Each structure stands twice: as structure tokens, then as C-alpha cells.
Structure 1
């Protein structure tokens, strides 16, 4: 039986200055070692949920449990030890003059001994492929490299869960691919539980499970395969279906026998190449 690391039950949230609820009766669980993507258009409740998981908001109704701790004021710092957060703009997270100083910052604040800190800094940068940049200034890195350093700073603290809050939205396609591949490797090789909050369905296609929010409510959930079958519904919700999914459908409708519906362009090209080679 899968181990629950987050449990959200009947959660609603209302900002003091607004009549409408930002979240309404939302319930779902997150399981150890999975990659869960939470998608929705602007105003769907994604950002509110992200802040709640980081202990910046508390439910107006319902309950939230993270890492075995109820989300209440007394447990916030215990929860933040369990869950690390990577934000949209990595420049807002940098405080060190070099990459290694920046990754070490959180460890210093937590009182980690110097020898252990050095090991953890190097190990975390190695996991994200950034050891060649130890002495570089973070602000001189590319967007994808900056986010990988930000991820290293989080995993150096050894959380059980990493939350990516629109962490690829400001990146170019190459940077986005760098970060997504890094997250997938950490998820698969380290058993890290990942929650990515995004409006990018191409990023969501890499996840194990997808939750769709709409107007503060849980609209639907399932595997990427199931979610992308709702292509017209997703468009009506203001979510763009990935190009590879659209092209796979068009090619299938035109009579081409693809092996399956593809969620990224690389897999689609490989399938087309194989079909052409066989002919």
C-alpha cells in the first residue's frame, strides 16, 4: 500500500478581502516517491494551494497533513523541514556570492557542521549536474542553470518533498528541459516526492499523476494519458494541449499508425523515424 506524505481533506480557503473562495472543498493525497503535477489557468487556485503547502496560508475549512504533521501554526517549521520549495524566479532565492555559498546558506542556518556541510553542498550540486560551477556567481548563470542551483539548495536540506511553484515558467525551452530532466532524475534515482504546480501541460506530461484545478475546485485527476484525452475540455479551461499531443492526434486521424499518443516532441520524432525506416 502506498504511503501518504500529504493528505488534503475538504479544504477551502477564503482571502479576507474577497467574497469568493480561492479554494473550495479540495481533497486529494500525495504519495511517497510520486511526481504529482497540479495544473490550472490563472485564478484556478494553484498559487493559493502552493502557499498553503508551504505554511503561508491555513485552511478556512478542512484539514491538511504534511509529513505526518497537521498544518497548524505550531507545526509550520516542522513541515518546512519536510517540504522544500523552488520558486518561479530563481534570482529571488539567491543570497550567496558563489554557487556553493548559496547552496550552503540554508545548511548554515540549520547549524550543520562545516565538514558535513561541504559534503552536502557538493553532493547536491552533483545531483543536478552543477559541480563545474562551484565558484561562479549565480546571477551570471543561464535560467536553467539558476533553477538547478535553486533545486540543489533545496535538496541539500534533505526534504522528503520538493514543491516546484511555476519553476519553469520563466525559462526558455532549453532551460525548461534542463530543469524537467533534473527533477525526473531526482524523482527516479533519489525517490524524491515532487509536486509541480504549473500551467504548462508539457511539463505536466512528465508527471506520474495530474490534478486539474478550475475556479478553486478539483476538476479532475488521473494519469497524463487520461488527462490529455480531455483535449477540448482542457482548451475550454484555458489550458493549451502540448504540441506533440495535438500532432499525434492529427497524424493518427490522417491514417498514420503511431505506436501510441506522444506527450513530447522527442518521442514523437523517434516514432516517426521508426515508421519511415521500416518503410
Structure 2
């Protein structure tokens, strides 16, 4: 028996203004439970509009959206939002509590979770993102990566089925970015959450199970990271930058170094180079 997708989007169109080009133009996609889907594209490609529709922040003009078995409409928006949590670009704009503990508790209080259960979930969620030693810290004392991990803890404490990262690493330094991506991968691998990441960064997208490329409000391409990066120059033509490890792999192979493939991550490329060195 084939499992029904946790999200099903069919023929969705949306305009911000009636006389404008559509922000989304007849877009269809599905998301499977437990996977990490990355939606990539340049500014104006439609990826952020799609994220807002998946969370019920805007309603499409045509087509339908089904999230966790619920068809999106003005009447079901709040039901859908219980299943979908979002982490946004700027971690400083997300904090409402004076301590990490208070901030993670905020969503639980809004949902009327009993105190004993709230305490248990705060401990569980902060431990999952490795921030349980910072419960009494003031958020402004944390690094950017730590702040985003606290934001993720606040989302998973409410126990949604899906988490959407809307450019959630774009303002972080490389260390903070890696912290967040490793946290998300761990949560996904443990079966805690289905992940949708919205990004213009193809190197970040390489961590996902599957990538959808958006361009001018349409779905330009869909596939595994390896399949998407094989499009190569076509991605550059629509305003995306290929990851540095991928470009370096190509140059090394062109120079005659026997690398077996164009690597998507630095770690993968370094491992193969190290193996070649040991063999030489």
C-alpha cells in the first residue's frame, strides 16, 4: 500500500496583484512523510509564496492544497497551522521570552498544554537540539546558530508534523549554518519531523532528500540533489549558484585528478581526496 503524501499541492495559482505576473503559476507537488524536501530558487521565483501557502498564511486563487489530510480553506487555516511550524530568516525577530525556557514555553502556553507536560516537552525539545544546558540563558547572549536551534526547539515542542525553514540559515555564519543543518538532519533521521527548507543556497539544498527548483512562479525541475546538480549550466542561467565543492570537483576532474564524481558537499570531496592521497 502506497502511503498518501503528507502534503499534496495540485495546480495552485496565486497573484499578489490582479494585473501582475502570477507569483505561482499552476504549481503541483507532493511531500512524503519523513522526508526533507528543499525548494530552491532566486528572489521572485515563487518559493516563499509557496511556503506561505503551505502554512495557510495565504490562500491560493485556484487549485487545492491538502496538509495532513486537511484541505486548505479559510475555515481550516488554523487546523493546518497546528500541523505546520515555521522558522524564519532572522532569529532575533522570533524571540518573545526573556530566557530560552520561556521562549520554548510560549507556543505550549498558547496551545493550553498542562504545566507538567509543558515542562517535559521543554526538556525534550531543547535536548533534541542540544540547547538543554542553556535554558536559563537570555536569548540575546546566544550565537546566531544557537538562536535558530532554540527557534526549532520552540517549534518541535508543539509537536507539528512538518517544519518549514524559510531561509532560516541565510543570516548565519558558516558555523551557525552547519549547527542548524545538522540539527534538522538529526530530527528528520529520528522520524520526529518532515522538513521543507526554502532557500536560494544550493549547497544547503544538497543536504535534502529531494529538491524542487522554482523559476518565475513555475516548477523548473525536481529530483534528487545529484539529478538537480546535473543540470549544471541551466541552474546558473536562472540565477542560482552551484556549490563550491561541486565546482571544485569539476575543475579537479578536468585537471586529470581521478575523482569519481562531482561532489555536493565539502566533506564528501575531502574524503575522496584523502582516499586518493592514501592510495598514492
User: How would you bin the TM-score normalised by the shorter chain?
Assistant: over 0.9
2:266 alignment counterpart: 265
The offset of 1:259, in angstroms, is 3.5
- What's the C-alpha RMSD, in Å, of the aligned pairs? 1.0
The offset of 1:18, in angstroms, is 4.3
The offset of 1:17, in angstroms, is 5.5
Q: What are the within-5 Å matches in structure 2 for residues 68-87 of structure 1?
A: 68-87=69-88
Distance in 2 (alpha carbons) for counterparts of 1:215 and 1:186: 32
Other structure's SS at 1:36 match: strand
2:141 alignment counterpart: 140
* Per-residue CA distance 1:212-232 (angstroms, 9 max, x = gap): 000000001000000001110
Q: What are the within-5 Å matches in structure 2 for residues 5-84 of structure 1?
A: 5-16=6-17, 18-84=19-85
Distance in 2 (alpha carbons) for counterparts of 1:65 and 1:18: 28
TM-score by length of 1: 0.98
Distance in 1 (alpha carbons) for counterparts of 2:267 and 2:227: 20
1:155 alignment counterpart: 156
The offset of 1:191, in angstroms, is 4.2
Other structure's SS at 2:76 match: helix
1:212 alignment counterpart: 213
Other structure's SS at 2:163 match: strand
Distance in 1 (alpha carbons) for counterparts of 2:64 and 2:41: 22
* Per-residue CA distance 1:61-95 (angstroms, 9 max, x = gap): 11111111111011111101111111111111110
Other structure's SS at 1:4 match: coil
2:183 alignment counterpart: 182
1:112 alignment counterpart: 113
Other structure's SS at 2:6 match: strand
The offset of 1:131, in angstroms, is 0.7
2:240 alignment counterpart: 239
* Per-residue CA distance 1:144-186 (angstroms, 9 max, x = gap): 0000000000000000000000000000111110000000000
Distance in 2 (alpha carbons) for counterparts of 1:46 and 1:191: 24
The offset of 1:190, in angstroms, is 2.7
- 1:175–1:18 CA distance, 2 compared to 1 (3 A): farther
Between 1:108-117 and 1:15-24, the stretch displaced more is 15-24
2:250 alignment counterpart: 249
Between 1:47-56 and 1:102-111, the stretch displaced more is 47-56
Distance in 2 (alpha carbons) for counterparts of 1:161 and 1:19: 31
Between 1:36-45 and 1:83-92, the stretch displaced more is 83-92
2:95 alignment counterpart: 94
Aligned length: 279
Structure 1 runs of 4+ aligned residues shifted over 3 Å read: none
Other structure's SS at 2:65 match: strand
Other structure's SS at 1:25 match: strand
The offset of 1:16, in angstroms, is 2.8
Unaligned runs of 5+ in 2: none
Distance in 2 (alpha carbons) for counterparts of 1:100 and 1:190: 24
Distance in 1 (alpha carbons) for counterparts of 2:268 and 2:101: 36
